[in-house]
Amino acid sequence: MGLDVNWAVKWLTLSAQAMAEHRVWLIELDRAIGDSDHGENMDRGFQAVLDKLAENPPETPGAALKLTAMALMSKVGGAAGPLYGTAFLRAGTSLGDAAYVDAAALAAALGAARDGIVARGKAESGDKTMVDAWTPAVEAAAAAAADGDTLAVLIAAAEAAEAGAVATDPLVARKGRASYLGERSAGHRDPGAASSALILRAAAGAAA
């Protein structure tokens, strides 16, 4: 057994709720070091995901994530659209057609998502981007997967992503819009890392 398509749909639904609830907060984070659009774009993108899920209910977790990828890629725009789109596409591809996702497959899918983000955005750890939430999340998930408990994997990932997002506060941005600020980008949380942590927390919430 493991997590099924209902978990995936619930994850995406909780993600959409989180984006709507934190829309203004994400806009404010982006206003400080970017261009004030992240919360708006993520909210719009995940509403589109919900529409797609209702229109065309997926049969497997992998299918749900692929459908999410297409919706985000076509509705979010900015850098976040292709980055999250690639993340969900790689995660969905990693899960394949399996009806159930076990702990190892889950950790592998999170790793594939992170690798997709790195391949598209070419950011490294410490550049003050969403990679700084995803990489610790992937490492924590891999460590937790040994025990075979999917909920434990997701909780470990969510906690590590949240800590990773907080840890972007003092960093100087080296990729993305905030990089133009140089030293002045320090002292602000990266909005992409913040939204990544919200999404990974939603994944854990859906499995609880």
Partner 1 sequence: MKKLINDPRAVVDESVEGFGLAHADLVTVSADPKFVTRRDAPVAGKVGLVSGGGSGHEPLHAGFVGLGMLDAAVPGAVFTSPTPDQIIPATLAVNSGAGVVHIVKNYTGDVLNFETAAEMAQAEGVEIRTVLVNDDVAVEDSLYTAGRRGVGGTVLVEKIAGAAAERGDDLDAVAAIGDRVNQNVRTMGVALSACTVPHAGSPSFDLKDDEIEIGIGIHGEPGRHRIAMEGADAITDRLLDPVLGDLGVASGDKVLLFVNGMGGTPLSELYIVYRRAAQVLADRGATVERSLVGNYITSLEMQGCSISVLRLDDELTALWDAPVHTAALRWGM
Beta bridge partners of 3: 101
Toward partner 1, which CB reaches closer, 114 or 177?
Answer: 177
Q: Are 50 and 12 in contact (CB under 8 A)?
A: yes
Q: Are 174 and 182 in contact (CB under 8 A)?
A: no
Identify residue 202 by its one-letter amino acid code.
A
Q: Are 106 and 94 in contact (CB under 8 A)?
A: no
Toward partner 1, which CB reaches closer, 9 or 178?
Answer: 178
Radius of gyration of the chain from its Cα atoms, rounded to whole angstroms: 16
**What is d(CA 90, CA 16) in angstroms, rounded to the nearest whole number?**
20
What does the chain come to in residues? 208
> Which residues sit at the interface with partner 1, rule CB under 8 A?
27, 31, 33-37, 40-41, 44, 73-83, 85, 120-121, 174-177, 179-182, 184
The tokens describing 134, both together, are: 């995803």
Toward partner 1, which CB reaches closer, 3 or 80?
Answer: 80
Toward partner 1, which CB reaches closer, 2 or 77?
Answer: 77
DSSP letter, residue 180: G
Minimum CB separation of residue 159 from partner 1 in Å reads 28
Minimum CB separation of residue 182 from partner 1 in Å reads 7
Minimum CB separation of residue 50 from partner 1 in Å reads 17
Minimum CB separation of residue 130 from partner 1 in Å reads 12
Toward partner 1, which CB reaches closer, 148 or 187?
Answer: 187
Identify residue 119 by its one-letter amino acid code.
A
Toward partner 1, which CB reaches closer, 33 or 101?
Answer: 33
Minimum CB separation of residue 107 from partner 1 in Å reads 26
Minimum CB separation of residue 208 from partner 1 in Å reads 33
Three-state secondary structure readout of 94-119: HHCCCCCECHHHHHHHHHHHHHHHHH
**What is d(CA 131, CA 19) in angstroms, rounded to the nearest whole number?**
19
